[in-house]
């Protein structure tokens, strides 16, 4: 967020999503996120643009980590500044809901006794609602860097071993760190 806008803002709303230690009685060790980065960035920018057209917002910052996210660490962070709290709070809720529903980021939950790719029900519900899918979460012909591991839908994502990656968008532009 740009500091100059903070002087004009009467409210800053934030959301942070963290890795919890259990899910449905299973012990969670870590989460692993993958994304089709060019499409994810494009969609994040579109979601931010939609928020700007719906609320009187000064600044938006959205960051989502890729790679391994241990228990207790943050995987997603959203901050919105606005003159009034209602705009900041409503836009912040909209941004996390739309991020989950429309940005191609996939999550694998790693448990103490196994692991599973999690279906993003919000993403699938949105795609089915828009009539843009035949039940598949992504196109199989997507080609990405081949230096990583396979994702839930066969695309490969380049993430160095042990290195966290993130995709983010803000007023200053888009940053990619891999």
Which residues make up each annotated binding site? 84-85, 100, 107-109
Q: Hey, how many other C-beta atoms are within 10 angstroms of the C-beta on 61?
A: 19
Q: Are 110 and 2 in contact (CB under 8 A)?
A: no
Nearest to 17 by CA among 81, 93, 91, 84: 93
CA distance 33 to 109: 9
Assigned token pair, 119: 């279906």
**Binding site listing for substrate:** 84-85, 100, 107-109
Q: Are 71 and 28 in contact (CB under 8 A)?
A: yes
DSSP-derived secondary structure letter, 84: S
CA distance 170 to 78: 10
Q: Are 116 and 24 in contact (CB under 8 A)?
A: no
Nearest to 97 by CA among 54, 140, 151: 54
CA distance 30 to 111: 7
């Amino acid at each position: 967020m740009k500091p100059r806008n903070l002087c004009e803002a009467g409210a800053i709303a934030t959301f942070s999503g963290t890795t919890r230690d259990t899910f449905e009685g299973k012990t969670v060790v870590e989460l692993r996120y993958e994304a089709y980065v060019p499409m994810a960035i494009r969609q994040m920018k579109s979601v931010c643009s939609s928020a700007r057209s719906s609320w009187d917002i000064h600044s938006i910052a959205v960051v989502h980590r890729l790679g391994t996210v241990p228990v207790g660490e943050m995987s997603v962070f959203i901050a919105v500044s606005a003159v009034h709290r209602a705009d900041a709070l409503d836009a912040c809720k909209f941004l996390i809901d739309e991020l989950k529903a429309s940005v191609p980021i996939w999550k694998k939950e790693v448990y103490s006794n196994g692991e599973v790719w999690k279906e993003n029900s919000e993403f699938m519900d949105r795609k089915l609602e828009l009539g843009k899918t035949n039940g598949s979460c992504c196109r199989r012909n997507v080609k990405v860097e081949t230096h990583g591991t396979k994702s839930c839908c066969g695309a490969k994502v380049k993430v160095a071993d042990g290195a966290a990656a993130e995709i983010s968008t803000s007023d200053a532009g888009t940053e990619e760190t891999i």
